[in-house]
Structure 1
Amino acid sequence: MTYTPRAVAGMLGIAPTTLRTWDQRYGLGPSERTEGGHRRYDEADVDVLRRMVVLIGQGVSPASAAVLARQEPATRTSAPIGADKALKAQRGFLTAAKRLDEPLMLDLAAKLLADHGVVSVWESVFVPCLVELGELIADRGSGVEIEHMASGSVLQALREVPRANGPGVLAALLACAPEEQHVLALEALGAALSEQGGQWRSLGARVPPEALCDAVVRLRPSVVLVWAHRADLAELVPLAELGRRTTALVAVAGPGWAGMTLPSSVRRPAGLAEAVELVMSRV
């Protein structure tokens, strides 16, 4: 598939004249031309230009960004956390949580994320710890302060994962169902997308149906994903209206959607890794 300069400019959120300048000054032009001499960009050209946009947004000079943009993006050096290390990390994080030692929790969370990445740490450490703390509260009838501080520490660590800045394709718009107040899983998805260079925005908790529809129309994301942890909250999400008002891929996540009949166009990723793959495949 190839794209016209105007289409590429729209995809990247830049002016067509900027594309022409980058072609003339830095050689970041299209790989193909029609018989009539019209420029046509292929997928590889667009990937290079997308990296150019991100690098400039991060403060890199255009000339340096052009050199870096031609290079393949660096692969992460972090490795998934092993089972033994995950159990050790869980014990350390839970011990810090029960002591209300927020600085230690933040330090442990930051190091784990840097070494092993968001998806691996979320699934192998953070979720098991938060589940165990929830069960502790249910069994003892106390300990809410422990769970709150642990959740807050995880949230802060996730929000410190560097985000892609500058103009470019908005990969995902994330939102909670109306009256849904649990945002931590959405923050984990956002942080995981940031690791992959994906741009995203979050509307946070308790998003009214009309506000969600308006934001999707205004922001034009590639994917809109809505989280719900209970079925009664999921039922309030305007899936049909979203389908009418946007060309974005609509996806849902969270236990609230289990067993619900969804429109054929709506996707439901099974977990965090699948959600990240779904979003990044549309960028």
Structure 2
Amino acid sequence: MAATDPTTQAQQATLLSVGEVAEKLGIPASTLRTWERRYELGPSARSAGGHRRYDAADVERLQRMHLLVDSGLGPAAAARAAISGDPMERTEGADAFADAVIAATRAYDAEGLRTLFVRKLEDLGTIRAWTDHIAPSMRRVGEEWYRGSVGVDGEHLVSDALHTALRARLASRRTKGQDHRPVLLACAEDEHHVLPLLALQCALADQEIGCHMLGQRTPFSAIAGMTIRLEPAAVFLWASIVHFDGSALASVLDAATDRTDVLLGGPGWSVEGGTHVADLQAAVDAVQQAIARHPVGA
């Protein structure tokens, strides 16, 4: 019987399973599988028995990825840097991004606007992209409209481009086989600004949390009825302007039992009841906490 090559034995000994790599990096195995599926950061070696395993180079790339994501870089940009070995990419500041959005809006460059939003979402992830760049740029568009340097047609153009970019990101993040109680998203009854709600839906999808989206101008009676039928872990309602009194929310609060958290986002809420959240990160955190508090079957 031929002796086993000691070099081969040493190489085999350094190969790691997904569970071993997850433990080494201190992250869930599901995260590694997501990085493999979305960014091609999977194992490249095989064990003697033919099972896929991570070699030392694979683990080094994953360590870079983990460090870059922890530093705040979006997963897509972090993956490109981890694979290429290049330093972490620098991204333009909020003012420069807003300038680019305004310039594309004035030029009626719909494709340019979509590209700006898609790339920023991909590079930074939904929460950072929205909080640090997209939301400030949309406020700038509103200020320019108020001054008269951007018309209502331009405002609609940029809103449509952002809507398309968010929908595209959501489509690429859809997950199957949800193991948590439902999450329900809706605008207040007369609210027509749906973009912040789409941003939350995308941010939750980044965390592999699926939602039922009722969207803009949904009657409170319909939201209450859906709450009774679904018994969701959380109902999130968005309002950008104050346009109703506290009694308008009562039907939803009554429909939500102690198994459902009612979360309120946006500056339009001046009523008692529910839990008010300040920003996109807080909304995602609150939904995750609601899912943890109200598990399936509880």
Q: Is the 8 A contact 1:243 1:250 kept in 2?
A: no
Partner amino acid, structure 2, of 1:183: V
Q: Does 1:79 align with 2:73?
A: yes
* Other-structure match for 2:210: 199
Structure 1, unaligned runs of 5 or more? 1-46, 59-66, 68-73
When residues 165 and 233 of structure 1 are mapped into structure 2, their CA distance, relative to the original with a 3 A threshold, is farther
- 1:98-140 CA deviation, whole Å, 9 max, x = no partner? 1111111111111111110111111222212211111222222
Q: Is the 8 A contact 1:177 1:236 kept in 2?
A: no
Cα shift at 1:86 = 2.6
Q: Does 1:190 align with 2:201?
A: yes
* Other-structure match for 1:254: 266
When residues 86 and 240 of structure 1 are mapped into structure 2, their CA distance, relative to the original with a 3 A threshold, is same
Q: Is the 8 A contact 1:177 1:205 kept in 2?
A: yes
Distance 2:193 2:106 in 1: 22
Distance 2:111 2:213 in 1: 26
* Other-structure match for 1:108: 116
Cα shift at 1:244 = 4.5
When residues 139 and 234 of structure 1 are mapped into structure 2, their CA distance, relative to the original with a 3 A threshold, is farther
Q: Who wins on radius of gyration, i.e. which is larger?
A: 2
Q: Does 1:225 align with 2:236?
A: yes
Q: Does 1:91 align with 2:99?
A: yes
When residues 241 and 130 of structure 1 are mapped into structure 2, their CA distance, relative to the original with a 3 A threshold, is closer
- Secondary structure at the residue paired with 1:268? strand
Structure 2, unaligned runs of 5 or more? 1-27, 38-50, 52-64, 75-88, 292-298
Q: With CA pairs under 8 Å and 6+ residues apart, which has the higher RCO, 1 or 2?
A: 1
When residues 83 and 239 of structure 1 are mapped into structure 2, their CA distance, relative to the original with a 3 A threshold, is farther
Q: Is the 8 A contact 1:178 1:236 kept in 2?
A: no
Q: Does 1:215 align with 2:216?
A: no
Identity rate, percent: 28
When residues 188 and 154 of structure 1 are mapped into structure 2, their CA distance, relative to the original with a 3 A threshold, is same
* Other-structure match for 1:23: none
Distance 1:91 1:141 in 2: 13
Q: TM-score w.r.t. structure 2 length?
A: 0.64
Of 139-148 and 76-85, more deviation after overlay is shown by 76-85
Q: Is the 8 A contact 1:223 1:248 kept in 2?
A: yes
Q: Is the 8 A contact 1:180 1:233 kept in 2?
A: no
Partner amino acid, structure 2, of 1:253: G
Give the aligned length: 214
* Other-structure match for 2:61: none
Distance 2:165 2:118 in 1: 6
- Secondary structure at the residue paired with 1:256? coil
Q: Is the 8 A contact 2:224 2:255 kept in 1?
A: no
- Secondary structure at the residue paired with 1:251? strand
Cα shift at 1:91 = 1.8
Would you identify which runs of 4 or more consecutive aligned residues in structure 1 move more than 6 Å?
80-83
* Other-structure match for 2:128: 120
